[in-house]
Amino acid sequence: MSTELPPVIAIDGPSGSGKGTVASGAAEALGWHLLDSGALYRILAHVSQQAGVSADTPARLEALARGLRVDFVRTSTGAEQILLDGRDVTTVVRSEESGKRASELAVIPQVRQGLVGVQRSFRRTPGLVADGRDMGTVIFPDAGLKIFLTASVEERVQRRYNQLKQKGLNATLPALFRDLIARDERDRNRAVSPLKAAPDAVVLDTTGMPVAAVVDQVLDRARRRYGEAAAGRRQGG
């Protein structure tokens, strides 16, 4: 019996670097599973708020984190849905409020610890594309392909703005700019699992690049690294 674990592509980067869109596009093209790890932090932010569990009770947060039952599915129209215990929580999880609270909870070591097992449970055949801040450094340090996406702050703010507007959510550029800088600071400077490229990651600056071109670069590297296993559903991206 083979003990080899299914292959993983880790895609990390700061907010608005495009990692979510790129990871989703790559997972779809390859026919692999998708892990949007940021969504887990966002769901925990939402669930803990609902349950009245605050940041001063890390053991309770850890227990909540361990118990999360989350699925990422694609609807028949191609839209992505985030399910918590089978319930659609996509809209609430994508709000700026959840993102902000998520990044506050993400500095708590017990929260990160509680989510390790949940994240690793997404590693299933034929493979996994995982996006976040510490996929290549902490959660899947043995990933065969690690990508670290960057882009200028201005472009990341603009992308976030377009994304939120497209979803009909409220946003203003100056507020997004402030939030993004604050979140970058917290993510880069926290003591546990700070946002940084793994030493063996390929760093791609996506400023000015269309998403499809970034997805193609990831798929190219995936095919070179994994051959047949990454042959995917469509050839040539």
Q: What are the residues binding ligand C5P (CB under 6 A)?
A: 15, 37-38, 41-42, 99, 102-103, 106, 132-134, 183, 187
Cα separation, 71 vs 66, whole angstroms: 14
Provide, rounded to whole angstroms, the least separation between the CB of residue 224 and ligand C5P: 25
> Smallest distance from the beta carbon of 183 to ligand C5P, in angstroms?
5
**By C-beta, is 197 or 229 nearer to ligand C5P?**
197
Tokens 């976030």 locate to 160
Q: Min. distance of Cβ 223 from ligand C5P in angstroms?
A: 25
Q: What angle do CA 198, 207, 210 make, to 5 degrees?
A: 105
Strand order in the sheet with 70-74: 70-74, 80-84, 87-88
Nearer to ligand C5P, 28 or 187 (CB): 187
Pairing state between β 87-88 and 80-84: antiparallel
Q: Compare residues 102 and 218 and give the one whose CB is closer to ligand C5P.
A: 102
Residue number with CB closer to ligand C5P (7 or 13): 13
User: Least Å distance between CB 20 and ligand C5P?
Assistant: 6
Give yes or no for a cis peptide into 126 (omega within 30° of 0). Answer: yes
| Cα distance between residue 62 and residue 55, in whole Å | 10
Q: Which residue is nearest to ligand C5P (CB)?
A: 38
The full length of the chain comes to: 237
What φ, ψ does residue 36 adopt, rounded to 5°? -95, 90
Q: Which residue has the tokens 């055949």?
A: 125
Q: Give the integer Cα–Cα distance in Å for 205 and 150.
A: 5
Q: Which is nearer to ligand C5P, 124 or 188 (CB)?
A: 188
* Nearest-approach distance from CB 100 to ligand C5P, in angstroms: 8
Nearest Cα neighbor of 95 from 152, 156, 36, 163 is 163
Q: How far is CA 123 from the centre of its chain?
A: 14
User: Based on CB atoms, which residue is closest to ligand C5P, 94 or 232?
Assistant: 94
Least distance CB 56 / ligand C5P (angstroms): 19
